[in-house]
């Protein structure tokens, strides 16, 4: 081994996860490492860059990791010597979601993922460390500071890694903790705990937490006679208290309790012991959260053998959505969780069909289209899907298509039993025209996009929002390439889609009153889907095609991305992003309340404040409409 590689190996073995590897393994890695010198303020990668083939370790200097949220740069984390960053290529397929920039002159080690992957596969400690680092984005084991203060925000989080879901699941906690002063005796503290049925009491000084006493302390220190009942609490309390911010997730709380060997965490305003107390998290809170943990639900789905079993889990997802909204968890975060669970349900339904029919005769992809394709399906709405199988020899085509139609019919039937109704427009893989080969699909998209309007009764924009639920990633990529190739400089298409986006009836009248339905059964109700959400969804899809933004299908995330891509109009895009979340929340609450799709809002039942909030969320639509008109100079289909 050459001396440079030797120096690198010596450096790495001081830090996790490399300290879990043998010297031979480290030497092999060190030999493949590239050394990168970065000048001050030089970027290694930025938001939306294509993923690199390596991840990185800071050798010396400092790297700042930042994101753009609401068109402002926010510093997420600083990486010092020994810190790992840039792990996204390990766990996700979409582009970087943050920027890495040298804060001073910095030396970086680039470790090729292809070299490192075998060591991850064979060593669970290394894998857990990487998962944890990717999820919480910190970490130098020598750093004794609070490791969990700097979390990736909801707007940034997106991952294909289901096992990470628990890193982003918020916790409920006790919001009115029991508190007392240092001058209290153990006897007085135990009486307070008994009267209030609490198993812990926080000790405060100047209103700040300095210690905690739990049932365990009382048993091990007082009941055993080690200390008399008259002892002051500051002699038996555990100190310092481990403090956290209120947005701590389930996994982070578990890791902290394990790390510090404690059973309680104190929630404070800024996560330190120098700010106001907000509550206490105990082990019982973790157990409750675990039962509805998205990761747990996904594992259970993978084991299901019947549609009946899956349906029970889908019902628990509804509860999870309901609780999350009540707890004021951001709806963008709820979209992520629900979409991962919906995806697991679709995937399992396809698997169960394959178990029954036998192995597929060709490779294929099952794509969810429409709201699930955009990761926006919170309610039990109808199912939308397409099936694409690889090209096969002409004499095999009929048999192959026959198999996939049977597969699709079985799968859609399972999904219907789970509670996803059949699509009334027949947009499902079980429909003869939406189950075909890659070449046939290529012709279909070519026809839609190059002669829009000619088959306008057939084109449905939901076919442009899709997500692979099962099968070959390469098939989905091929469709994406066809779409973006056809979209390039395609004035006719943008003219058609632009007019289509503007064709919806206006949500507000000239006098800024709600335009409501005239006919029964929804007379005087407001159609939030058609009049409010669809114009935003259509507008976001139109601009995503125009700006060639791949891999982001979610309407909210699309608008946030446009603010970065087209900063001149960032204000309009950001208003639309917020409006979309507000409107989605209204629709979801309506749907949960009435056990339906939430499409029609009963305005009579809204409070005055909510009516105003709903009205304000409709205002950015006019600006979006004007932007579409000016950007696309609409003529042909106007």
174-192 residue pLDDT tens: 888 999 999 999 999 999 9
pLDDT at 165 over 50: no
Q: Determine whether domain 296-441+461-471 maps to CATH 3.30.470.20.
A: no
Question: How many residues in the chain?
Answer: 638
Rounded CA separation 541/553 (Å):
8
Six token digits for residue 165: 């879901």
Q: Which two tokens stand for residue 198?
A: 């609490």
Spatial CB neighbours of 514, under 8 Å, sequence gap ≥ 6: 507, 508, 526, 603, 614, 615
Distance between CA atoms of 423 and 413, rounded to whole angstroms? 12
Instruction: Spell out the domain ranges in the chain.
Output: 3-145, 179-291, 296-441+461-471, 494-632
442 φψ region: left (φ > 0), alpha (ψ -120 to 50), beta (else): alpha
Q: What angle do the packed helices 555-565 and 331-357 form, to 10 degrees? A: 120
Q: pLDDT at position 484, please? A: 94
The two tokens of residue 44 are 């290694």
Residue 238 has pLDDT above 50, yes or no: yes
Percent of the chain scoring above 70 in pLDDT: 87
Residue 265 has pLDDT above 70, yes or no: yes
Q: State the alpha helices, DSSP H only, in 154-282.
A: 186-195, 215-217, 233-236, 250-260
Q: Which residue has the tokens 């009942």?
A: 229
Which has the higher per-residue pLDDT, 95 or 136? 95
Q: Provide mean pLDDT across the span 422-436.
A: 91
pLDDT at residue 583, as a whole number: 95
Exposed e or buried b per residue across 500-520, where buried means at least 16 C-beta atoms within 10 angstroms of its C-beta: bbbebeebbeeeeebebeeee
**Residue 110: in which H helix or E strand, if any?**
strand 106-112
Percent of the chain with pLDDT over 90: 45
Phi/psi of residue 151, nearest 5 degrees:
-100, 150
Quote the pLDDT of residue 145: 32
**Which positions ≥6 away from 369 have C-beta within 8 Å?**
384, 385, 386, 427, 462, 463, 465, 466
Dist. CA 303–CA 310, nearest whole Å = 9
pLDDT of residue 94: 65
pLDDT at 149: 27
Which long-range CB contacts under 8 A does 406-412 form with residues at least 24 apart? 406/357, 407/350, 407/353, 407/354, 407/357, 407/360, 408/366, 408/435, 410/352, 410/353, 410/356, 410/357, 411/346, 411/349, 411/350, 411/353, 411/366, 411/385, 412/383, 412/385
* Separation CA 143–CA 279 (nearest Å): 26
Q: pLDDT category, 232, cuts 50, 70, 90?
A: very high
Q: How many CB atoms lie within 10 A of CB 350?
A: 24
Is the separation of the CB atoms in 517 and 600 below 8 Å? yes
Question: Contact, 603 vs 517, CB < 8 A?
Answer: no
pLDDT band at 331 (very low <50, low <70, confident <90, very high): confident
Q: Which residue has the higher pLDDT, 505 or 420?
A: 420
Query: What is the average pLDDT score of the chain?
Result: 84
Would the pLDDT of 168 be above 50?
Answer: no
Distances (CA, A) of 244 to 31, 64, 137, 631: 40, 23, 16, 47
Cα 78 to Cα 99: distance, rounded to the nearest angstrom:
12
CA–CA separation, 546 and 540 (whole Å): 10
Domains 3-145 and 179-291 in one fold: no
Least confident of 116-125, 224-233, 312-321, 396-405: 116-125
State the maximum Cα–Cα separation within the chain, in Å, rounded to a whole number: 91
Nearest to 148 by CA among 268, 45, 231, 236: 268
**Mean pLDDT across the stretch 509-529?**
86
Over 60: is that where the pLDDT of 291 sits? no
Q: What is the mean pLDDT of residues 501-508?
A: 79
Assess whether the previous peptide bond of 521 is cis (omega < 30° from 0): yes
What is the per-residue pLDDT for 22? 87
Q: Is the pLDDT of residue 317 over 90?
A: no
Q: How far is CA 398 from the centre of its chain?
A: 40
DSSP assignment string, 448-506: HHHSTTTTTTT--GGGGSEEEEEE-HHHHHHHHHHHHHHHTT-HHHHHHHHHHHH-SPP
Alpha helices in 547-619, H assignment, sequence order: 555-565, 570-594, 608-618
pLDDT of residue 140 exceeding 50 = no
Q: With cut-offs at 50, 70 and 90, classify the pLDDT of residue 346.
A: very high
pLDDT at 289 over 70: no
- CB of 586 closer than 8 Å to CB of 614: yes
> What is the rounded average pLDDT of the residues 69-92?
74
Angle (CA) 367-334-466 rounded to 5° is: 15
Which residues fall within 8 angstroms of residue 600, CB to CB, at 6 or more apart?
517, 522, 525, 526, 527, 528, 590
Question: How far is the C-alpha of 401 from the C-alpha of 344, rounded, in Å?
Answer: 25
Question: For residue 159, is pLDDT > 50?
Answer: no
Sorting pLDDT into bands at 50, 70 and 90, what band is 365?
very high
Task: Please tell me the CATH superfamily of domain 3-145, with its number.
Answer: Jelly Rolls (2.60.120.10)
| pTM metric for this prediction | 0.59
Q: What's the whole-number mean pLDDT along residues 256-273?
A: 83
Q: Return the closest-CA partner of residue 379 out of 321, 328, 436, 450.
A: 321
Lowest-pLDDT range of 254-268, 355-369, 532-546? 254-268
Q: Phi first, then psi: what are they for 139, rounded to 5°?
A: 120, 105
- The pLDDT confidence band at residue 121, using thresholds 50, 70 and 90, is low
Place of tokens 């830090």: 15
Q: Please give the pLDDT value at position 161.
A: 34
- The answer to which of 61-75, 417-431, 478-492 has the lowest mean pLDDT is 61-75
pLDDT at 286 over 90: no
246-255, 363-372, 459-468 — most confident range: 363-372
The CB density around residue 339, as the number of other CB atoms within 10 Å, is 23
Q: In terms of CATH architecture, what is 179-291?
A: Roll (3.10)
Q: Would you call 366 helix, strand, or coil by DSSP?
A: strand
Give the CA-trace dihedral at 611, 617, 623, 626, to 10 degrees: -80
pLDDT above 70: residue 131: no
What's the whole-number mean pLDDT along residues 25-32?
91
């Amino acid at each position: 081994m050459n001396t440079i590689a030797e120096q690198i190996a010596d450096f790495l073995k001081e830090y996790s996860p490399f300290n879990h590897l043998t010297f031979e393994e480290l030497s092999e890695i060190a030999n493949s490492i590239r050394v990168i010198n970065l000048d001050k303020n030089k970027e290694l990668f930025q938001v939306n860059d294509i993923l690199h083939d390596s991840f990185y370790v800071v050798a010396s200097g400092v790297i700042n990791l930042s994101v753009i949220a609401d068109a402002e740069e926010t510093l997420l984390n600083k990486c010092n010597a020994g810190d790992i960053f840039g792990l996204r290529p390990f766990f996700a397929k979409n582009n970087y979601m943050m920027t890495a920039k040298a804060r001073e002159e910095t030396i970086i080690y680039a470790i090729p993922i292809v070299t490192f992957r075998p060591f991850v596969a064979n060593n669970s400690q290394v894998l857990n460390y990487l998962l944890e680092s990717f999820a919480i984005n910190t970490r130098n084991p020598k750093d004794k500071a609070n490791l969990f203060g700097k979390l990736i925000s909801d707007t940034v989080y997106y991952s294909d890694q289901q096992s990470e879901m628990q890193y982003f699941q918020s916790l409920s906690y006790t919001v009115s903790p029991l508190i007392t002063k240092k001058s209290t005796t153990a006897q007085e503290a135990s009486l307070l705990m008994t009267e209030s049925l609490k198993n812990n009491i926080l000790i405060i000084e100047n209103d700040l937490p300095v210690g905690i006493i739990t049932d365990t302390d009382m048993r091990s220190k007082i009941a055993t006679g080690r200390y008399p009942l008259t002892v002051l609490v500051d002699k038996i309390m555990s100190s310092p208290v481990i403090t956290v911010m209120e947005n701590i997730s389930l996994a982070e709380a578990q890791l902290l309790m394990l790390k510090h060997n404690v059973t309680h965490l104190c929630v404070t305003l800024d996560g330190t012991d120098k700010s106001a107390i907000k509550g206490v998290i105990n082990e019982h809170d973790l157990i409750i959260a675990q039962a509805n943990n998205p990761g747990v639900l996904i594992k259970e789905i993978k084991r299901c053998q019947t549609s009946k079993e899956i349906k029970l889990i889908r019902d628990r997802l509804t509860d999870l959505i309901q609780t999350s909204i009540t707890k004021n968890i951001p709806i963008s975060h709820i979209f992520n969780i629900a979409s991962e669970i919906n995806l697991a349900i679709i995937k399992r339904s396809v698997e169960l069909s394959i178990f029954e029919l036998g192995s597929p005769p060709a490779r294929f992809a099952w794509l969810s289209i429409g709201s699930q394709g955009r990761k926006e399906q919170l309610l039990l709405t109808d199912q939308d899907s397409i099936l694409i199988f690889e090209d096969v020899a002409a004499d095999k085509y009929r048999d192959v298509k026959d198999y996939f139609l049977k597969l699709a019919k079985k799968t859609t039937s399972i999904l219907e039993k789970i509670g996803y109704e059949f699509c009334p427009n027949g947009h499902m893989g079980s429909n003869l025209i939406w189950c075909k080969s890659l070449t046939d699909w290529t012709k279909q998209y070519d026809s839609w996009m190059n002669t829009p309007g000619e088959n306008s009764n057939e084109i449905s924009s939901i076919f442009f929002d899709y997500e692979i639920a099962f099968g070959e990633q390469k098939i989905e990529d091929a469709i994406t390439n066809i779409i973006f190739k056809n979209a390039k400089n395609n004035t006719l298409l943008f003219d058609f889609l632009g007019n289509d986006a503007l064709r919806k009836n206006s949500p507000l009248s000239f006098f800024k009153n709600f335009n409501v339905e005239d006919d029964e059964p929804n007379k005087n109700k407001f159609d939030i889907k058609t009049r409010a959400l669809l114009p935003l969804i259509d507008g976001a899809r139109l601009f995503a095609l125009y700006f060639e933004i791949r891999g982001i299908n979610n309407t909210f995330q699309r608008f946030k991305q446009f603010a970065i891509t087209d900063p001149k109009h960032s204000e309009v895009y950001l208003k639309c992003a917020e409006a979309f979340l507000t409107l989605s929340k209204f629709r979801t609450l309506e749907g949960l309340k009435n056990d339906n799709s939430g499409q029609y809002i009963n305005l009579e039942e809204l409070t005055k404040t909510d009516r105003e909030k709903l009205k304000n969320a409709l205002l950015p639509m006019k600006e979006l409409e004007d932007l579409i008109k000016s950007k696309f100079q609409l003529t042909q289909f106007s």
